[in-house]
Amino acid sequence: MKESLILVDEHDVAIGTAEKIDTHRKGLLHRAFSLFIYDESIKKILLQKRAKNKYHSGGLWTNACCSHPRKGEELLDAVCRRVKDELGISVPDSTYEEKDLWECNKFTYRKDYGKYIEHEIDHVFIWRVDKSAVQLIPNKNEVDDLLWVDMYDLDDWMTINPEEFTAWFFPAYEIFINDLLSDPTMICSPISPALYDVIQKNKSEVQASLKTNE
């Protein structure tokens, strides 16, 4: 089934729609989201390893779920739909009542993968969960592996092997961490100076691609 994405201008105002593959072949700016699933009590986040057959970034690690809202679909509805499709879990009603799922910020990035170009305004969401209560059933067409990882261990991993992560994960992760730093239980930042440099390097690459396209 063909899927229509929401095209936007640089201010994230919807200006039309286009078919998904055509959008990525032409590098059209469109709306997207990245979801971080986080267990606050143990300071772990869920990572997804993208299926190798994905049309780009296959086999790379990234945040728990990332995708696009469809034509006429609200962002939060798209988040809930894709979490179910990719991870086999539903967002319970109590999540909204307790304000455990929220959008924290957004960013623009562009990455040329050869045949396809990602050019997105990416809205970053956080879903705070109890890991022990989450029963994951990954969709093998979308996901090769899932991993709960301590954020301080992730710092080392991203610093030493940044090539194992998707391009958008670096700016999205920085937004995620900046939001968490407002939490008084977060005693120190899980981003070391070394990882900060890696994140800035990767951000500059996708931003340079944006300038090249102007």
| Catalytic residue list | 66, 120
CA 160 to chain centre: 21
Smallest CA-to-CA distance from 178 within 124, 137, 140, 128 is with 124
Distances (CA, A) of 179 to 30, 43, 108, 161, 176: 24, 14, 18, 24, 5
Taking the C-alpha atoms of residue 116 and residue 113, their distance in angstroms, rounded to an integer, is 5
Look up tokens 């995708």; give the residue.
67
Taking the C-alpha atoms of residue 183 and residue 187, their distance in angstroms, rounded to an integer, is 9
Token reading at 21: 């593959």
